[in-house]
Amino acid sequence: MSLKDQITEDMKNAMRAKDSERLGTIRLLTAAMKQKEVDERVVLDDTMVIAIVDKLIKQRKDSIEAFTKADRMDLADKESAEMKVLQAYLPARMSADEVAAEVKAIVAELGATGPGDMGKVMGAVKTRLAGKADMGQVSAAVKAALSN
Protein backbone atom coordinates (compact mmCIF):
# COMPACT_ATOMS: atom_id res chain seq x y z
CA MET A 1 0.00 0.00 0.00
CA SER A 2 1.35 3.39 -0.97
CA LEU A 3 1.74 6.15 1.58
CA LYS A 4 -1.00 8.14 -0.13
CA ASP A 5 -3.42 5.20 0.23
CA GLN A 6 -2.38 4.77 3.87
CA ILE A 7 -3.19 8.41 4.57
CA THR A 8 -6.62 8.01 2.95
CA GLU A 9 -7.32 4.92 5.06
CA ASP A 10 -6.21 6.74 8.21
CA MET A 11 -8.58 9.59 7.34
CA LYS A 12 -11.49 7.14 7.03
CA ASN A 13 -10.56 5.52 10.35
CA ALA A 14 -10.37 8.90 12.06
CA MET A 15 -13.84 9.73 10.70
CA ARG A 16 -15.23 6.45 12.02
CA ALA A 17 -13.59 6.99 15.42
CA LYS A 18 -14.80 10.62 15.50
CA ASP A 19 -11.23 11.70 16.28
CA SER A 20 -11.63 15.32 15.15
CA GLU A 21 -8.08 16.47 15.93
CA ARG A 22 -6.43 13.65 13.99
CA LEU A 23 -8.97 14.02 11.19
CA GLY A 24 -8.27 17.75 10.85
CA THR A 25 -4.53 17.18 10.57
CA ILE A 26 -4.94 14.41 8.00
CA ARG A 27 -7.28 16.62 6.00
CA LEU A 28 -4.62 19.37 6.00
CA LEU A 29 -2.15 16.83 4.64
CA THR A 30 -4.51 15.53 1.94
CA ALA A 31 -5.30 19.12 0.91
CA ALA A 32 -1.58 19.86 0.53
CA MET A 33 -1.15 16.66 -1.50
CA LYS A 34 -4.07 17.48 -3.80
CA GLN A 35 -2.77 21.04 -4.23
CA LYS A 36 0.61 19.69 -5.35
CA GLU A 37 -1.05 17.26 -7.77
CA VAL A 38 -3.23 19.96 -9.32
CA ASP A 39 -0.51 22.62 -9.50
CA GLU A 40 2.11 20.38 -11.07
CA ARG A 41 -0.23 17.93 -12.87
CA VAL A 42 1.53 14.91 -11.41
CA VAL A 43 0.56 11.79 -9.51
CA LEU A 44 2.35 11.79 -6.16
CA ASP A 45 4.66 8.93 -5.27
CA ASP A 46 5.85 8.13 -1.75
CA THR A 47 8.94 10.35 -2.05
CA MET A 48 6.84 13.38 -2.99
CA VAL A 49 4.36 12.69 -0.17
CA ILE A 50 7.24 12.47 2.32
CA ALA A 51 8.54 15.82 1.06
CA ILE A 52 5.11 17.37 1.68
CA VAL A 53 4.95 15.87 5.18
CA ASP A 54 8.47 17.21 5.88
CA LYS A 55 7.38 20.68 4.77
CA LEU A 56 4.28 20.59 6.98
CA ILE A 57 6.33 19.44 9.98
CA LYS A 58 8.81 22.27 9.43
CA GLN A 59 5.90 24.73 9.38
CA ARG A 60 4.63 23.27 12.66
CA LYS A 61 8.08 23.59 14.27
CA ASP A 62 8.29 27.24 13.22
CA SER A 63 4.77 27.89 14.53
CA ILE A 64 5.51 26.21 17.87
CA GLU A 65 8.58 28.39 18.28
CA ALA A 66 6.63 31.55 17.48
CA PHE A 67 3.71 30.65 19.75
CA THR A 68 6.06 29.77 22.60
CA LYS A 69 7.81 33.15 22.30
CA ALA A 70 4.40 34.86 22.33
CA ASP A 71 3.42 32.84 25.42
CA ARG A 72 0.50 31.18 23.61
CA MET A 73 0.93 27.65 24.91
CA ASP A 74 -2.59 26.66 23.86
CA LEU A 75 -1.73 27.22 20.21
CA ALA A 76 1.74 25.69 20.61
CA ASP A 77 0.16 22.54 22.07
CA LYS A 78 -2.26 22.31 19.13
CA GLU A 79 0.61 22.60 16.63
CA SER A 80 2.59 20.02 18.60
CA ALA A 81 -0.30 17.54 18.43
CA GLU A 82 -0.56 18.08 14.65
CA MET A 83 3.18 17.52 14.30
CA LYS A 84 2.93 14.16 16.12
CA VAL A 85 0.22 12.99 13.71
CA LEU A 86 2.32 14.05 10.71
CA GLN A 87 5.48 12.38 12.02
CA ALA A 88 3.74 9.01 11.86
CA TYR A 89 3.96 9.20 8.05
CA LEU A 90 7.71 9.68 7.93
CA PRO A 91 10.07 6.72 7.58
CA ALA A 92 12.60 6.02 10.32
CA ARG A 93 15.19 8.81 10.36
CA MET A 94 18.92 8.29 10.12
CA SER A 95 21.01 9.01 13.21
CA ALA A 96 23.49 11.90 13.28
CA ASP A 97 26.41 9.46 12.89
CA GLU A 98 24.80 7.80 9.86
CA VAL A 99 24.14 11.19 8.27
CA ALA A 100 27.75 12.31 8.86
CA ALA A 101 29.11 9.07 7.37
CA GLU A 102 26.87 9.35 4.30
CA VAL A 103 27.82 13.02 3.80
CA LYS A 104 31.54 12.19 4.04
CA ALA A 105 31.10 9.47 1.43
CA ILE A 106 29.30 11.85 -0.94
CA VAL A 107 31.93 14.56 -0.42
CA ALA A 108 34.65 12.01 -1.26
CA GLU A 109 32.76 10.83 -4.37
CA LEU A 110 32.35 14.36 -5.68
CA GLY A 111 35.87 15.41 -4.74
CA ALA A 112 34.50 18.49 -2.98
CA THR A 113 37.15 20.47 -1.13
CA GLY A 114 35.74 23.58 0.48
CA PRO A 115 32.70 25.71 1.26
CA GLY A 116 32.47 26.72 -2.40
CA ASP A 117 31.28 23.21 -3.25
CA MET A 118 28.37 23.37 -0.78
CA GLY A 119 25.70 23.65 -3.50
CA LYS A 120 27.03 20.72 -5.49
CA VAL A 121 27.25 18.52 -2.39
CA MET A 122 23.80 19.54 -1.09
CA GLY A 123 22.24 18.68 -4.47
CA ALA A 124 23.68 15.17 -4.34
CA VAL A 125 22.85 14.73 -0.66
CA LYS A 126 19.23 15.85 -1.10
CA THR A 127 18.59 13.28 -3.81
CA ARG A 128 20.16 10.47 -1.80
CA LEU A 129 18.84 11.32 1.69
CA ALA A 130 15.45 12.86 0.87
CA GLY A 131 12.94 11.65 3.43
CA LYS A 132 15.55 9.64 5.33
CA ALA A 133 17.12 12.46 7.34
CA ASP A 134 16.30 15.91 8.69
CA MET A 135 17.66 18.37 6.12
CA GLY A 136 18.74 20.84 8.83
CA GLN A 137 20.92 18.12 10.33
CA VAL A 138 22.20 17.20 6.85
CA SER A 139 23.12 20.82 6.09
CA ALA A 140 25.12 21.07 9.32
CA ALA A 141 26.91 17.80 8.49
CA VAL A 142 27.80 19.08 5.00
CA LYS A 143 29.17 22.34 6.43
CA ALA A 144 31.26 20.39 8.95
CA ALA A 145 32.58 18.01 6.26
CA LEU A 146 33.55 20.85 3.92
CA SER A 147 35.21 22.96 6.59
CA ASN A 148 37.77 20.26 7.42
At what angle are helices 118-129 and 96-110 packed, to 10 degrees? 130
Which tens digits make up the pLDDT trace of 4-55?
Answer: 999 999 999 999 999 999 999 999 999 999 999 999 999 999 888 988 998 9
Domains and CATH numbers, the chain: 3-87 (1.10.1510.10), 96-147 (1.10.10.410)
More confident residue, 40 or 100: 40
- Distance CA(110)–CA(76), nearest Å, equals 42
Comparing CA positions, the residue from 102, 86, 84 lying closest to residue 94 is: 102
Q: What is the pLDDT of residue 24?
A: 96
pLDDT of 130 over the 80 cut: no
Which tens digits make up the pLDDT trace of 45-99?
Answer: 988 898 899 899 999 999 999 999 999 999 999 999 999 999 999 888 888 888 8
* Total-model pTM: 0.77
The answer to whether the CB of 79 falls within 8 A of the CB of 64 is yes
Comparing CA positions, the residue from 128, 120, 59 lying closest to residue 99 is: 128
